Amino acid sequence: MKTILYATDYSLNSVAALKLAHLMTKKFDANLMVMHVFDIPIPLSTVSVSHLKKEKRLLTENYTRLKNFCTEHLGDTWEGCNITFAAEENASVPNGILEKALHLDADLIVVGTKGTSALKEFILGSATTALVKKAPCAVLAVPETSELEIFKTMVYATDFEQADIFAINKFVKIANIFNADLRIVHISSKEEYAGDQQMEWFKDMLLQKVKYEKITFDLIFSDQIFEELNRYLDKTETNLFAMLERKDNSFVQRYLKKDLVKKMVSNITIPLLSFNAAGL
């Protein structure tokens, strides 16, 4: 991992994400871009000179504010790291972040989530969801209540697809840097056919292409997908949960209508790492 892009709106919701982005920057000896996207509404007529002056002033102000934001929440620890700052004007925050990610060829986008659950926000719709669906790289959504800690246990939810193997191969790089246990889990209803055989097939395929000693596999049948997911993440003391975003067929989208347990999802307060199948 060479380049990490962290986007903030200066709110307390984004502080935990900043700290995690900084930690990962140090772990990977990567470059960290800290950015803020702002919008200046303009009339339908041509851009005025006063608008251009205002944009220039806001760019300067936000550059200073970003540095102060890092100093306030990271102390002096960010100084000396490979951190740069950018303020961008864009009517769409997700589009502004995506454009910067493409320009930087970023390996990871890190954002904070409003509320306590990254997974709940993913389900209910937000700027984070827009990023996940379009991002050319992985997106790490960090709930505001997440505590900064060394990842010891990481979980990836698989649906036995080829794209999962590519995503897990990227996920392993993070697990390796933290020397974490990586658990691959498949949770589905009892109606699924030959789930155990599918798991064995997937396990064999994965271990041929992904080399990491600390991988375990779990197959769970339950008619209450998210309730079981909550229990599993709690039981395994998971620090980071990852899944694959497929076009109209993500892990979340597949079981949302079947479970309808958003209150249970709100209990998942750990960071959520989402890989976009289109970008693998």
* Residue 46 covered by a domain: no
Residues 70-81, mean pLDDT to the nearest whole number? 80
Whether 72 and 157 map to the same domain: the answer is: no
Residues 133 and 159 in one domain: no
Do 15 and 84 lie in a common domain?
yes
Specify whether 177 is located in the same domain as 91.
Answer: no
Residue 29 or 262, more confident: 29
Is the residue at 128 inside a domain?
A: yes
- Whole-number pLDDT of residue 147: 80
Domain limit, last residue, from 119, 143, 167: 143
For residue 97, what are the contacts with CB-CB under 8 A and spacing of at least 6?
5, 7, 35, 37, 109, 111, 131
pLDDT for the residue numbered 205: 93
> Is residue 131 domain-shared with residue 162, that is, in the same domain?
no
Average of per-residue pLDDT across 45-53: 57
At 189 the pLDDT is: 75
Looking at the structure, tell me whether residues 91 and 210 fall in a common domain: no
Q: Is residue 45 part of a domain?
A: no
Q: Are residues 130 and 160 in the same domain?
A: no
Residue ending a domain, choose from 143, 166, 201: 143
Please indicate, yes or no, whether residues 78 and 104 belong to a single structural domain of this protein: yes
The residue with greater pLDDT, 152 or 12, is 152
Q: Which of 102, 122, 143 lies at the terminal end of a domain, its last residue? A: 143
Task: Tell me the average pLDDT across 189-207.
Answer: 83
Domain containing residue 8:
3-40+52-143
Residue 75 covered by a domain:
yes
Question: What is the predicted pLDDT for the residue at 254?
Answer: 55
**Can you give the pLDDT at residue 93?**
87
- 109, pLDDT greater than 60: yes
- Among 15, 24, 13, which Cα is nearest to 154's? 24
Mean pLDDT over the full length of the chain: 82
Per-residue model confidence (pLDDT) at position 262 = 39
One domain for residues 18 and 134? yes
- In sequence order, the 6+-apart residues with CB closer than 8 A to the CB of 86 are 33, 34, 35, 36, 63, 66, 100
Q: What's the structural domain count of the chain? A: 2
Q: Is residue 249 part of a domain?
A: yes
Say yes or no: 18 and 132 in one domain. Answer: yes
Are 61 and 168 contained in the same domain? no
Q: Is 196 inside a domain boundary?
A: yes
- Tell me the CATH number at 124: 3.40.50.620
> 210-259, pLDDT tens digit by residue?
999 999 999 998 877 777 888 899 999 999 999 887 765 555 555 544 43
Residue-level pLDDT at 247 = 62
| pLDDT tens, residue by residue, 24-39 | 999 999 999 999 998 7
The answer, yes or no, to whether residue 44 has pLDDT greater than 60, is no
Supply the pLDDT for residue 150: 81
Query: What integer is the mean pLDDT of 95-108?
Result: 94
